Structure 1
Amino acid sequence: MRFHVLTLFPQMIEQGLSESITGRALKQNIISLNTVNIRDFAHNKHNKVDDYTYGGGAGMLMQAEPVYQAVRSVMSQINKCNQVHSGDNSEKNIADENILYENTSYKNTAEEIKNHNARLIYVTPQGSVFNQQMAAEFAKCDDLIFLCGHYEGIDERVLEETVTDYVSIGDYVLTGGELPSMVMIDAISRLVPGVLHNDISAETESFHGNLLEYPQYSRPVEWHDKKVPEVLMSGNQKKIDAWRLEKSVERTKERRPDLYAGFKRLDKCREFLMKNKLLHIDMIELINRGCAEILFEADGEYLLRDMVSKVCFHTRPDEGGSKLIDLVQEDATKPVDKYSSQHIPENVTDQIVNGIVLHQQRYVELFTANGFNETVECMQAVYTNKEKLSVSGLYRPDGRPMPNGLIIRKLDAADIQEAAPMYPGFDNPDYIIERIEAGAVYGAFFGDNTANDTINTLAGIIGIHEEGSIGMLYVKPQYRHQKLATALETYAFNRALENGWIPYGQIIVGNDASMRLQESMGLHFSKSPVYWMTKNNA
């Protein structure tokens, strides 16, 4: 993750982010920080970047050209960095790119920024209020550019041409955008894999799942006549988790009734989905992990969206018609009884960006008629036990090699080249790279344990998909029939259980070998499949 801050006070940014967790992440090159002084692009004697506003009014306004040139300089750096990473750093391409950003007539900078998996955030009280969901969305970008205003703001014309997001940190006015930028960089950085030592921390803290964090205590047991609750010292993790949930609910209801209302809506939805747990495990786990938002609900019909992956999930278990749709009756003399005569409003389809999972076959025709393509049909496979699977004879949980030299560990950037071909993806060949960078893919490695060599032969992989299901399982042909697939699944399932998740996978219909593997591991299957669909953007 690369952060770029366009500011009149670069030292303020550098000093503010050089300490604590962000400072450590910068030193370890997990994130990078590039501060750009907008004054460097003011071509006048005193590096002046402001002027009077047309139409009169108090105060001065930052001019368009210095800001625009500063943005273009950052885009030039992003392009060069991307060329180096892709291996395309020839002199010709770099020269072409320099010409592009020296051309003052170049337009659509905001669109160009988005095409580079980047965002330019203008910090302003007029923007959407920053929250944890927004932080999670921004954390998926390669580059984030923060534009810090001063004086009375910035010339509207350069904002229209460059800004992708207008963001505020609250309904109050500050002297500049530096402090809000640092607040957002801190919140976003914590979601970048490797920044926090504890991978679970970012998922369990305040605002996760519409609940505030539970009270926490440290030594001593008694302080100022106040004692640590006995349940926290009981060693009974089940009771501890129940107590923490209870206190989170109580605290949210008392301090943030707005969040509590959202929690109750999701809790009601989860209770409804639990009536057919196996079919709806993906939606249930989405709620359990605090990643779900309700886009639509009416009479037993729900449309949820994963706030991280933006994948949507739809269900209407009974035989009633969908409230999502409008009926389009072309011939008033005939009853409307075909899905081809039904229309999904654009305000619904516009929110389905990265595909939708349907839980009833009868809606496949409806979504197909409204511009979606069915990509895959899957059975839900769920591990319903709460106890971890036995690892005996499969791998050692302490990370030491087995007698045959096998270890299983999380993949990192150094493993991408070898692992990427194992999972080509359906429509995104870079998907596995993104999951490895997110710390969500595990690999089985073999080495010569007797020679004490470095274990460096990748034999197979498994991972956790963005929406929470376990998959991407692949074992190289020469390593099959050695229980390696069982070892990988056991490892992934146990990691999920450690996080308090219900392990589940989605098995493509017709993949009999995978179905047999899941049965052998004690998984239970939904009685009917789910249907992944993507929007036809052609």
Structure 2
Amino acid sequence: MRLDEIDDIDLIEPIRLQTVNILYNEDDGIIMLEKESQSLMISMTNMEKLKSLFSLYHLDQYDLYDVKQKEIVDLLLHEYHKKDVFACYQAVYPFKTYIDFALPHDVSIQPLTLQYLDEVYQIYHHLSDRDYLQDRIEQQAMWGLFVKNELAGFIGIHKEGSMGILEIKKNYQRQGYGYLLEAYLINHLLKQGKVPFCQVVVGNNASLALQRKLNMRLSSRYSYWVFDE
């Protein structure tokens, strides 16, 4: 199946980095399991074929799905009884050049350690899984922005490779710290030979504005994350 370098970056980059097991790949679709996150990634135009593959590979066993077609969302919710979904844009930094930025003299960005886990868990409102945040910190996949040695915000890399877990404390918002954190992480990923990308929930206009400011390219269509719980 032909994939678009912006719309389907969440499929393309794991394939390139060889972090997936490809279960099916034909002209009518692709199905693959991202190994670290155990998320099932699907783009498929033939729903009847997809149903047969669900039965053949027992694909209903998974808790997390990244899918490209709304028809697949409906299938997962109504026939396989998955419980939640959100739509998002892909935002991709397709360039090789680093973002040029400077930190204010009283600001630093450092890898987070477990001493900040409770604070991160209390601040981050988009994820209630404390164990997931702990894993990200333990895997050195989260960074904090500190103002005069106080944690003001943080960012991380999700298990499947996208940038995210971005949050700025309320009293530090509107000072450009979100930009600094994401610019830092983009440069970090570029140094590793990776393509920086993130996913923005539809309706999060502040995040979309940030991606545009960072010169990220936005997808022309939605992707959908479907959850079992």
Q: What TM-score does the superposition give when structure 2 sets the normalisation length?
A: 0.92
The CA distance in 2 between the partners of 1:347 and 1:362, in whole Å, is: 19
Output aligned runs, 1:34-433, within 5 Å.
272-273=2-3, 276-316=4-44, 319-326=45-52, 344-345=54-55, 347-350=57-60, 352-368=61-77, 369-392=79-102, 395=103, 402-403=104-105, 405-426=106-127, 428-433=129-134
Alpha-carbon offset, residue 438 of structure 1: 1.1
Pick closer, same or farther for the CA change 1:353–1:310 going to 2, 3 Å.
Answer: same
* CA radius of gyration, larger in: 1
The CA distance in 2 between the partners of 1:419 and 1:299, in whole Å, is: 43
Alpha-carbon offset, residue 320 of structure 1: 4.0
The CA distance in 2 between the partners of 1:479 and 1:354, in whole Å, is: 35
| Partner SS for 1:519 | helix
The CA distance in 1 between the partners of 2:93 and 2:213, in whole Å, is: 11
CA contact (8 A) 1:374 1:531 kept: no
CA contact (8 A) 2:93 2:217 kept: yes
Among candidates 494, 519, 523, match of residue 216 of structure 2: 523
Q: What TM-score does the superposition give when structure 1 sets the normalisation length?
A: 0.41
Structure of higher RCO (CA pairs closer than 8 Å, 6+ residues apart): 2
Alpha-carbon offset, residue 354 of structure 1: 3.5
| Partner SS for 1:500 | coil
Q: What is the one-letter code of the residue matched to 2:136?
A: R
| Partner SS for 2:193 | coil
Q: Any unmatched runs of 5+ in structure 1? A: 1-268, 327-342, 396-401, 448-454
Q: What is the one-letter code of the residue matched to 1:323?
A: K
Instruction: After superposing the two structures, state which structure 1 stretch, 370-379 or 480-489, moved more.
Output: 370-379
CA contact (8 A) 2:145 2:152 kept: yes
Q: Any unmatched runs of 5+ in structure 2? A: none
Among candidates 135, 148, 152, match of residue 434 of structure 1: 135
Q: Which has the higher helix share?
A: 1
CA contact (8 A) 1:441 1:463 kept: yes
Deviation by residue 1:268-300 (Cα, 9 ceiling, x = unmatched): x6xx32xx1111101111112220111223333
The CA distance in 2 between the partners of 1:461 and 1:347, in whole Å, is: 38
CA contact (8 A) 2:157 2:163 kept: yes
CA contact (8 A) 2:29 2:46 kept: no
Deviation by residue 1:77-126 (Cα, 9 ceiling, x = unmatched): xxxxxxxxxxxxxxxxxxxxxxxxxxxxxxxxxxxxxxxxxxxxxxxxxx
CA contact (8 A) 1:325 1:345 kept: yes
CA contact (8 A) 2:37 2:159 kept: yes
The CA distance in 1 between the partners of 2:85 and 2:91, in whole Å, is: 19
CA contact (8 A) 2:47 2:71 kept: no
Among candidates 481, 505, 508, match of residue 201 of structure 2: 508
User: Cα RMSD between the aligned structures?
Assistant: 1.9
Pick closer, same or farther for the CA change 1:524–1:281 going to 2, 3 Å.
Answer: same
| Partner SS for 1:323 | helix
The CA distance in 1 between the partners of 2:128 and 2:120, in whole Å, is: 17
| Partner SS for 1:442 | strand
